[in-house]
Copies of this chain bind each other. A is one copy, B any other.
């Protein structure tokens, strides 16, 4: 249950479907949900477990990823403010175990909702239902995008795209390790190291321990767009 008016206002701002809901639903919504905070790098869902709650992210971010037997990882998608770990909802609806892992990246502030409320609101409330449908649909599109990437695109091009994307919000400096990049892309650390070295020799980037700086964004972008 959430009563603080400031918090409620802040939450309504983040979640579109609440703005479209009537006051009855909003009232019962805040009566039933709980707010939690999680530090960064906290496991949220384990592959193969049953989910008892649905989490809606207010602030911070999480990622959903797969792990292979020999330890390689690939990120399926990320969850940001206003979104939810829709795979959880999917598991709640179908009673299936969670097919991946989820972990917080930045510290997370989230709403926890009981499975019974999730199901009830899906039946009762159009705005909530559309929110869930919309999310699960965009996840499906995103994961199909991952299939396309992994199956068809060369790793150097994918890495170039990745660097372009990540540098958008950080003014050309990306603070991360080769291993983290490899885990996002679903490849191995050595491959990332080698390609980064190539990009450095072609003077598109410069690298230091724990960071990459984009030095020629235009050429990197060109590379990311090359076919094959």
Contacts and interface: CB of A to CB of B under 8 A. Distances in A.
A119 to B, nearest CB: 10
Number of copies: 2
Interface stretch (A6-14, A30-38, A94-102): A94-102
B70 A140 contact: no
B66 A148 contact: yes
A126 B227 CA distance: 45
Contacts of A122: 129, 133
Chain A binding surface, main DSSP class: helix
Instruction: For chain A, give the interface size range.
Output: 35 or more
A26 interface: no
Contacts of A152: 66, 68-69, 72, 74, 186
Interface of A: 66, 68-70, 72, 74, 76, 87, 90, 93-94, 96, 99-100, 122-123, 126, 129-130, 133-134, 136-141, 143-148, 150-152, 186, 227-228
